[in-house]
Chains A and B, each alone.
Chain A
Amino acid sequence: MLSYTIRRVLTLIPMLLIISFLIFLGMELMPGDAVSYMVSPEQLANMSPEKMQEMREALGLTQPFLVRYFNWLFGLFRGDFGYSLTNGQPIVDILKAKLPATFELSFYALLISTILGNVLGILSAVKRGGKSDNVLTVLGMVGVSIPEFFFGLVMLLIFAINLKWLPIGGRTMPEYTSYWQQFRHVIMPASVLGISMTAGVMRYSRSSMLDAMNKDFLKTARSKGLPKWRIYLLHGFRVALTPVVVLIGFRLPMLIGGSVVIEQIFQWPGIGDAFVAAVRGSNYPLVMMIALLSVTMVLLASLLVDILTALIDPRVRLE
Chain B
Amino acid sequence: MDKDIVLEVKNLSVSFYTDQRKNTAIRDVSFTARRGKTLCVVGESGCGKSVSASAIMRLLPELSRIESGEINYYGRGEPIRMDKLDPDGELIRQIRGGDIAMIFQDPMTALNPVYTIGYQISENLLEHNKGMKKSEALDKSVQLLKAMGIPMPEQRVNEYPHQFSGGMRQRAMIAMAMACNPQLLLADEPTTALDVTVQAQIFELMADLKTNYNAAVILITHDMGVVTELADNVSVMYMGYVVEEGSVDEVLRTPAHPYTKALLSSIPVLGRGRNQDLQPIRGATPDPFHRPPGCQFEPRCDYAAPQCTQAMPEREHVDGEHYVRCFRYKEVLKNE
> Which residues of A approach B to under 8 Å, CB–CB?
215-217, 219-228, 230, 235, 238-239, 312-315
Contacts and interface: CB of A to CB of B under 8 A. Distances in A.
Q: Which bucket holds chain B's interface residue count?
A: 20 to 34
B277 interface: no
Interface in B100-137: 101-102, 104, 106, 109-115, 123-124, 127-128
A190 to B, nearest CB: 32
B23 interface: no
Contacts of B267: none
B57 interface: yes
Q: Enumerate the 8 nearest inter-chain pairs by beta-carbon distance, A residue then B residue, closest first.
A: A225-B96, A225-B97, A224-B97, A216-B109, A225-B93, A217-B112, A223-B102, A314-B160
Contacts of A223: 57, 59, 96-97, 101-102, 104
Nearest to A221: B112
Nearest to B99: A225
B109 A222 contact: no
B88 interface: yes
B12 to A, nearest CB: 19
A222 B62 CA distance: 14
B162 interface: yes
Contact of B113 (A222, A227, A314): A314
B101 to A, nearest CB: 7
A315 B94 CA distance: 32
B304 interface: no
B98 interface: yes
A239 B97 contact: no
A313 B123 contact: no
Contact of B109 (A217, A226, A312): A217
Interface string B66-108: 0000000000000000000000100011111110011010100
9 contacts: A215-B109, A216-B109, A216-B110, A219-B59, A226-B93, A226-B127, A238-B114, A239-B113, A315-B162
A225 B95 contact: yes
Most buried by B among A313, A314, A315: A314
Given A216-B109, A219-B59, 15 more contacts: A215-B109, A216-B106, A220-B112, A221-B112, A223-B97, A223-B101, A224-B97, A225-B94, A225-B96, A230-B123, A235-B112, A239-B114, A312-B114, A313-B113, A314-B113
Contacts of A224: 96-97, 123-124, 127, 176
Nearest to B113: A315
Contacts of A221: 112
A216 to B, nearest CB: 4
Contact of A220 (B92, B93, B94, B111): B111
Most buried by A among B127, B128, B173: B127
Nearest to A312: B114
A313 B160 CA distance: 10
Given A223-B59, A239-B114, A228 B97 contact: no
A45 B115 CA distance: 73
A228 B173 CA distance: 21
B104 A220 contact: yes
Nearest to B90: A227
Most buried by B among A215, A216, A223: A223
Contacts of B59: 219, 222-223
Interface string B158-192: 00101000000000010010000000000000000
Given A216-B104, A219-B104, A315-B162, A226 B111 contact: no
A220 B110 contact: yes
Contact of A314 (B98, B111, B114, B128): B114
A35 B13 CA distance: 88
